[in-house]
Amino acid sequence: MKNLKQKLHSEEEHKRNSPWNIAADFDVEMSLSRQGIQGMLQEYEEECRTGMNQEEMADLLYKYTSGYPYLVSRLCKIMDEKAENAWTKSGFLEAVRVLLSENNMLFESLTGKLADYPELSRVLKELLFSGKDITYNPTNPAINLAGMFGFVKNEGGKAVPANRIFDTLLYNHFLSEDEMRSLEIYKDTWRKEGNMKKTIIFDFDYTLGDSTDGIVASINFALEKMNLETASRDRIAKTIGLSLEESYQVLTGRTDSGEKARFKTYFREKADEVMVESTRLYDGVKEMLTQLHKKGKKTAIVTTKYRFRIEEILAVNQIEHLIDAIIGGEDVQSPKPDPEGIEKIKAQFGISPEDILYVGDSIVDAKTAQSAGVDFIAVLTGTTSAEDFQNYPCVKILNRAAELD
């Protein structure tokens, strides 16, 4: 607040003393700068001694809010009161998720404007889903409304979303409208962000292919070998994407580390027999990967599956040349949603988080992208619904990965 008062005071005093003040519009920029946010955090740190990295936290807050005062304040309040790892990157990302799941007065007001002004809703859908540049023309009534209500800002003469929080809020709002999913403009939305990315990282199971048959057979083989009750296909399907240790615990309720190790050994014994031949790629995946390579994109897979298994599956389907790197379950100390796998790809390719788009089918994937600070596209070929993804930042939600082509 002190930063805002200083800005207001300086601007108003200048205009009051100006000989041209009859023409002054008193258009005060109310947003906080990155430096202003860091100054606020510094004052808080001096008083509370949280141990936060002030520069990193200020950068994250500005990156997601563009200095919108309420959003900055609300995220800080959530971190301070609700986040498990307060004032860390993971705590910040958890605060973003909590904020986007809230039904606060600001969000109610903004989404209410979309119902009140159909032309405003139309232009925002075009901006978010077409991937086309829209000139920031304040004489256009819809653009003027979008700017006045804070949905967009003028960046180099183009209308762009005012900040990442509002961007995600609008995506989630529009994607909750069932009719949007049938429109061509929706199917093409990935190009808005995706064409700007250097690297596309994919999950495998339920994203690029379906290994359900092999996984069910291998899990139930392992459970039988351990004299435990087998699980239904539906129950097992909901664990796909978890590590084998996590799957064992979810399916049996047992936590003994020795049992988990035995389960993994038996699982692999059966998987060596059936997994590759029972795995099928989804329709259009080979064509999509081919198009990405033609566009000069790097591609990678980060999965809880063994790397050698993915290599075998790719080879059988003759697409091993279309994947530039694979991080399997044996390549990381901590499985997803820990960002270690994405971090390894980032280091291998020498790229930044802004260069990466991650594609997956589950909440675990959404959390992985969020933890790594990279953009995320959700696909609906798994067991997770579009509604389940609403509480997580998604660039978009596609029916299948092949729509990326």
Residue 384 predicted with pLDDT over 80: yes
Could you read off the pLDDT of 37-64 as tens digits, one per residue? 999 999 999 988 989 999 999 999 998 9
Q: How far is Cα 233 from Cα 168, in angstroms, rounded to an integer?
A: 34
> Taking the model in full, what pTM does it have?
0.61
Residues 6+ apart with CB under 8 A from 389: 363, 366, 378, 397
Split at pLDDT 50, 70, 90, the class of 172 is confident
Place of tokens 């097992």: 236
CB 396 within 8 A of CB 402: no
pLDDT at 129: 73
Q: Is the distance from CB of 191 to CB of 292 less than 8 angstroms?
A: no
42 SS3 class: helix
pLDDT tens figures, 269-324: 999 999 999 999 999 999 999 999 988 999 999 999 999 999 999 999 999 999 99
The DSSP bridge pattern shows strands 298-302 and 199-202 to be parallel
Instruction: Name the DSSP class of 210.
Output: E
Query: pLDDT band for position 222 (50/70/90)?
Result: very high
Give the pLDDT score at 26.
Answer: 42
Phi-psi region of 49 (alpha: psi -120 to 50; beta: other; left: phi over 0): left
Q: Does residue 372 carry a pLDDT above 80?
A: yes
Q: What is the pLDDT, as a whole number, of residue 185?
A: 53
pLDDT of residue 90: 79
**Token reading at 348:** 């291998």
Please tell me which residue, 76 or 30, carries the higher pLDDT value. 76
Closest CA to 200 of 19, 322, 330: 322
